[in-house]
Amino acid sequence: MKTANAVINNPIGLHARPAAQFTQIAAKYQSKITLQKEAKVIDAKSIIKVLSLGIKQGTVIKINAEGPDEKEAIDALVKLIKSNFGE
């Protein structure tokens, strides 16, 4: 299992287009990927669940991936967050 912590830094947070980008990238990988904010853990491939966390700018999140491509999945998602979702 691979884990990474990241801070969401783009102004609108994990919301609207960034949330869609996040789940679409997660969906490309076979591994089971979860997203954690505080005590809540959700399926990172679900737009509904990701939106339901209401992640705002400055929130620390934890990403877990487990499966054959877990490393690639974590790398891709962290990269997306670090790029501030290309904004």
Partner 1 sequence: MERGIGMLFQGISGSRGIEIGKAYVYEKHNFDIDKKEISSVDVDPEIHKLKQALAVSNLQIQSVRQKALEKVGEDKAKIFDAHLLIAEDPAYAEDIITLIREERLSAAAALEAVTNQYVTMFSGMDDEYMRERGADVKDVGDRVLRNLLGFPPRGLDHLAEEVIVVAHELTPSDTISLDARYVKGFITHIGGRTSHAAIIARTLEIPAVLGVTGITSRVKSGEIIILDGTAGKIYVNPEKELIVKYQQKQKEYLFLQAEIKQLGQLPATTLDGKSVEISANIGAPQDIDMALTYGAEGVGLYRTEFLYLGKKSLPCEDEQYQAYKKVAEKLEGKPLIIRTLDIGGDKELPYLELSPELNPFLGYRGIRICLDKADIFKTQLRAILKASVHGNVMIMYPMISGITEVRRANKILAEVKQELRECGILFDEDIKVGIMIEIPSAAISAEKIIQEVDFFSIGTNDLCQYTLAVDRMNEKISYLYQPLHPAVLKLIKISIDASHKYSKFTGMCGELAGDPMAAVLLLGLGLDEFSMSASSIPLVKKVIRSITYEQAKKIADAALLLDTHQEIVEYSAKILETLRIIDAEGEKI
Stretch 32-51 residues interacting with partner 1 (CB under 8 A) = 42-43, 45-49, 51
The type of residue at 26 is: A
C-alpha–C-alpha distance, residues 42 and 11, integer Å: 22
Q: Which of 15, 29, 50, 55 is catalytic?
A: 15
Q: 5: closest CA among 30, 37, 51?
A: 37
Stretch 45-84 residues interacting with partner 1 (CB under 8 A) = 45-49, 51-52, 54, 83-84
Q: Does 86 bind partner 1 (CB under 8 A)?
A: yes
Cα dihedral sign for 16, 56, 14, 48?
negative
Binding site for partner 1 (CB under 8 A): 15-16, 20, 23-24, 27, 42-43, 45-49, 51-52, 54, 83-84, 86-87
Catalytic residues: 15
